[in-house]
Amino acid sequence: MTITKPLTLYSTMSRKKETFKPIKEGKVGMYVCGVTVYDYCHIGHGRTFVAFDVIRRWLMERGNEVTFVRNVTDVDDKIIRRAAEKGISTKELTDFYTKAMQEDMESLGCLPPTYEPHATDFIPQMLGIIGKLVDKGYAYVGGDGDVDYAVRKFPAYGKLSGKSIDDLQSGARIDVAEGKRDPLDFVLWKKAKPGEPQWESRWGAGRPGWHIECSAMSCHYLGENFDIHGGGPDLIFPHHENEVAQSEAANGKKFANYWMHSGPLRVRSADGTEEKMSKSLHNFWTIRDALKETDEQFGAGNGAEVLRFFLLRTQYRSPISFNPDLIVDAHKGLTRLYEALQGREGDGKPLDWNEPNAAAFADAMDDDFNTPVAVAQLFSLATEVNRTGDPALVRQLKGLGAVLNILQKDPAVFLKGATEGLDEAEIRRLIDERAAAKKARNFARADEIRDELLAKGITLLDKAEGTVWRRA
């Protein structure tokens, strides 16, 4: 069944919720800015990409064919510096961290992008846009040989971020070595420096600035006007603001119809205040380290789903406060949902969006992808499943979980968690002995067995279907 009710989303450009209407009915073009591949991804990146993975999945659930583009920035000052520090080529560096990024996104349950363009493969397209801007008078060759965008030539500059040119001017200063005509102008093409990656252009050898790459790649795959452009909150200004300016000046049409940004992931600093997680602040926790630690804590293979569930419990554009207690709480919540599924089978029917819990779930997702309210429906279902054991409700719980890409493991495997060092056959033998003791009304022995297993980190759950166990 295809969901036909209206979907509303919050657009950064209009600063309000809007009814989503794709350019072509049933087809959605979506571009989300990827990472600069010079280091491992951190949980802040994971927050952004899980958010847009859920958005994409819900658009698909509503019957849309989604073309999802996520770029890879593989030429950049940070990349050049890091490669030099390691004594390797920029390609060796970016190939390594691109693969690591892809593995991290897969671990967190994100679908692979439809297209994953690398900036260095789109130099001709970038030069084409820069040429348009120079020919139209929006860009110029500065005194240092760089090609710069003349911000004041684009009267609507600041419409995405809400920043005015006058406010920006008051806080700007000009570096005489840059050769810009105005301190607000930004670079489109950097003149080549010795030892750096470079390509030929009509302005001489050089490499692209950061902002131009996304305009080139998004337009190549999705057209000069497409549906959704997204990314992390730190990209609104200047990156996305500059994308709007250069794309609309070059092509003479609206760039993206809807702009969506995830909220920041914040961590507590040494002085007790909260700040965003970022590499520049040296306060980040890599996805790899997070997965290793959560796997050790909650069981091998479980950490990724716990982290994903932790991220889903906050609406995508709200800030998340990151601390270990919240991760533990997410594990407890996920455990409760899996316990409702353990030992139970659904009725084999497809998910029906007319069923009350499914309809409430859909209403939440249609209201700007409100995952906390959608997740609340999962807990309501779990309560009813535990009360009634109704196979129709079991099917709904697992089916709605699938929309968010959770609850798809064998519940027994998830609930047992880390089994390293545990003899499952011995645990099963003790459970059987306990059942026999209870049948013989030897409750003292039954309690002894429960306590013995609990001391080993094993919790027993007595259900109508029998006794099951999991790691405490």
Whether residue 3 is contained in a domain is answered as: no
Q: Any known ligand binding at 239?
A: yes
Q: Any known ligand binding at 41?
A: no
Confidence of residue 174 (pLDDT cuts 50, 70, 90): very low
pLDDT tens, 26-41? 999 999 999 999 999 9
Map tokens 């794709």 to a residue: 22
Q: Which of 435, 431, 424, 463 is nearest to 344 (CA)?
A: 463
Please compute the mean of the pLDDT values over residues 190-203 and round it to a whole number: 95
Q: Any known ligand binding at 18?
A: no
Please compute the mean of the pLDDT values over residues 442-467 and round it to a whole number: 75
CB 141 within 8 A of CB 147: yes
Give the pLDDT confidence score for residue 393 in this predicted structure. 98
Which tokens hold the place of 44?
């802040």
Q: How many separate domains does the chain show?
A: 3
Residues 252 and 385 in one domain: no
Q: Any known ligand binding at 243?
A: yes
The CATH number covering residue 125 comes to 3.40.50.620
Whether residue 273 is contained in a domain is answered as: no
Half-sphere exposure for 450 (CA within 13 Å, toward CB)? 14
Whether residue 177 is contained in a domain is answered as: yes
The torsion of the CA quartet 157, 160, 161, 166, rounded to 10 degrees, works out to 20
Residues 228 and 314 in one domain: no
Residue predicted with more confidence, 412 or 130:
130
Most confident stretch, 306-310, 319-323, 414-418, 441-445: 306-310
Whether residue 281 is contained in a domain is answered as: no
Q: Which of 338, 340, 309 is nearest to 326 (CA)?
A: 309
The CATH number covering residue 409 comes to 1.20.120.640
Residues 183 and 290 in one domain: no
Give the pLDDT confidence score for residue 467 in this predicted structure. 81
Map tokens 């790649």 to a residue: 217
Residues 299 and 358 in one domain: yes
Please compute the mean of the pLDDT values over residues 213-224 and round it to a whole number: 98
Give the pLDDT confidence score for residue 432 in this predicted structure. 82
Residues 253 and 315 in one domain: no
Whole-prediction pTM: 0.88
| Share above pLDDT 90 across residues of the chain, in percent, rounded to a whole number | 76
Residues 308 and 224 in one domain: no
CA–CA separation, 334 vs 144, rounded Å? 57
Give the pLDDT confidence score for residue 176 in this predicted structure. 44
pLDDT surpasses 70 at 173? no
Q: Which of 160, 166, 208 is nearest to 186 (CA)?
A: 208
Give the pLDDT confidence score for residue 422 in this predicted structure. 62
Q: Any known ligand binding at 33?
A: yes
Residues 398 and 423 in one domain: no
pLDDT tens, 302-338? 999 999 999 999 999 999 988 888 999 999 999 999 9
Residue predicted with more confidence, 279 or 414:
414
Residues 316 and 381 in one domain: yes
Instruction: Give every CB contact of residue 358 below 8 A, 6+ residues apart in sequence.
Output: 351, 352, 396, 399, 400
pLDDT tens, 40-85? 999 999 999 999 999 999 999 999 999 999 999 999 999 999 999 9
Residues 129 and 244 in one domain: yes
CA–CA separation, 379 vs 360, rounded Å? 12
Range of the domain at 103: 8-261
Residues 403 and 426 in one domain: no
